[in-house]
Amino acid sequence: MSKLSTNRFPWLGLLALAMNGFIAIMTETLPAGLLPQIKEGLQVSEALAGQLVTLYAVGSLVAAIPVAVLTGGWRRRPLLLLSIIGFLIFNTITALSTNYGLTLVVRFFAGVSAGVSWGLIASYALRMVPDHLKGRGMAVAMIGTPIALSFGVPAGTLIGSFMGWRSAFWLMSLLAFVLIFWVLWKVPDFPGQAADKRNSAVKVLRTPGIIPILIVVFTWMLAHNILYTFIAPFLKDQGLESYVGLILLVFGVMALVGIWIIGVLIDRWLRPLVLISLTGFALLSLVLGIWSEHGTIVFISVALWGLTFGGAATLLQTALAQAAGEQGVDLVMPINTTVWNLAIAGGGVFGGVLLNQWGTRSFPWALLLLLLVALLVAWRAKTHGFRSSQL
């Protein structure tokens, strides 16, 4: 794997990768906050408007691994630029389109662009930094995700509400246009892998440590998304419906604090940080299950939940990169993207079943069960999975 010859920390290059992640998350989630406007603009029902999110997720899910296999030999920066150009083109068409069918098609291909991006960001960050700072580099490259989830989506919704939903997608196109030149300026190019050195997905999955880490990815993110997807009805049942926005803001701020802490400590303490994060989230689930009727406890618990979640992507992707090694990292990240998206989809489906059958009071106990599984797997995966040693 190529490495930069300098030991200087490439802040601007890593922040360009973070911007790519920000655009990917924003492009995915914008329709969720603009459904009434999109419904009127495309003259469809709100349920059909919601499929703009679904098609994007499907595109990201189905494209991540096949595209990674097909482009394994491509130079990295042209591929990264291609994914950003995809955001530029498909968000522009979305902003211009008045046809629902066309909009769904371009949303699918926008999701494909995201699948390419998610397969590149982590492995790119690892190549850009010296060995002793790889965890910190990953933390910086991933910071766009919690920013988009915490502040970007409400801001995009606000812009769409005042200026029309199409303006929000125009803004994403503008950011992608700027990012193209940013990448050309500050992100170095790296070669792809030679044909005789590329791994198959099956071989990567058979690498010691990979399956346990992916199990933790799925169970941790499934637990997170059950509660995060249905946080509004959960808070409503606790009499906190008027504080949903404030609580999510606090969650986002604490997530940023979490990713900063992880970025500082990950290169020396990856395994303990994973175990502490999972244990903390499990304990908070137990607290919510027992004392959810107390508003103050719920508020504090959600804030601490944000703290445990903030560095999750950095921890898990760094562990995967460490286990996969240099030859497997370019393929293990798209596999991770696929598992991550399955957990997001599963959170919506499983959470919906829990909500309909047993109500929001069942959420903390489902979370606790999933997190105990994740904690057990992570604890046992000390040799090849979540290792204490540096990358």
Residues 173-212 have pLDDT tens digits of 999 999 999 999 999 999 877 666 667 778 889 899 999 9
Judge if 373 and 275 occupy the same domain.
yes
Q: Is a pLDDT exceeding 80 seen at residue 327?
A: no
Question: Taking 50 as the threshold, does the pLDDT of residue 221 lie above it?
Answer: yes
pTM of the model: 0.82
Inside any domain, residue 93: yes
Sign of CA dihedral 335, 340, 343, 345: negative
Q: What is the mean pLDDT of residues 124-140?
A: 85
In a domain, 180, yes or no: yes
Q: Would you call 264 exposed, middle or buried from its count of C-beta atoms within 10 A (0-12, 13-18, 19+)?
A: middle
Boundary residue ending a domain (162, 195, 228): 195
Exposed / middle / buried, residue 192 (Cβ in 10 Å: 0-12, 13-18, 19+): middle
Within this chain, do residues 71 and 217 fall inside the same structural domain, yes or no? no
Regarding whether 232 and 177 lie in a shared domain, the answer is no
- Contact between 336 and 217 under an 8 Å Cβ cutoff? The reply is yes
Q: What was the pLDDT predicted at 195?
A: 61
On whether both 315 and 273 belong to a single domain, the answer is: yes
Q: Domain containing 288 — which CATH number?
A: 1.20.1250.20
pLDDT(165) > 60:
yes
* Residue 134 shares a structural domain with residue 238: no
Q: What is the mean pLDDT of the chain?
A: 88
Residue 2 lies in a domain: no
For residue 198, the model assigns a pLDDT of: 65
Q: Residue 331's closest CA among 163, 109, 123?
A: 123
Q: Are residues 334 and 268 in the same domain?
A: yes
Considering the domain architecture, whether residues 287 and 324 belong to the same structural domain is answered as yes
Backbone dihedral angles phi then psi of residue 359, each to the nearest 5 degrees: 80, 175
- pLDDT band with cut points at 50, 70 and 90 for residue 5: very low
What 8-state DSSP symbol labels residue 187?
P
| Residue 159: inside a domain | yes
Look at the chain and report how many structural domains it folds into.
Answer: 2
pLDDT at 6 over 60: no
Domain ranges, residue 376: 199-385
Contact indicator for 316, 191 with CB cutoff of 8 Å: no
For range 7-12, the mean pLDDT:
85
Closest residue by Cα to residue 12 from 145, 196, 184: 184
Given this model, what pLDDT does residue 293 score?
84
Let me know whether 112 and 250 are in one domain. Answer: no
Which of 176, 195, 214 is where one domain is finished? Answer: 195
Q: Which of 59-73, 142-156, 249-263 has the lowest mean pLDDT?
A: 142-156
pLDDT of residue 159: 82
Task: Clarify whether residues 320 and 209 are in a common domain.
Answer: yes
Q: Which of 142, 162, 195 is the last residue of a domain?
A: 195
Residue 2 pLDDT: 40
Q: What pLDDT, on the 0 to 100 scale, is given for residue 24?
A: 94
What's the pLDDT tens digit per position in 231-277? 888 988 888 888 877 887 888 889 889 988 988 898 889 999 999 99
pLDDT of residue 203: 85
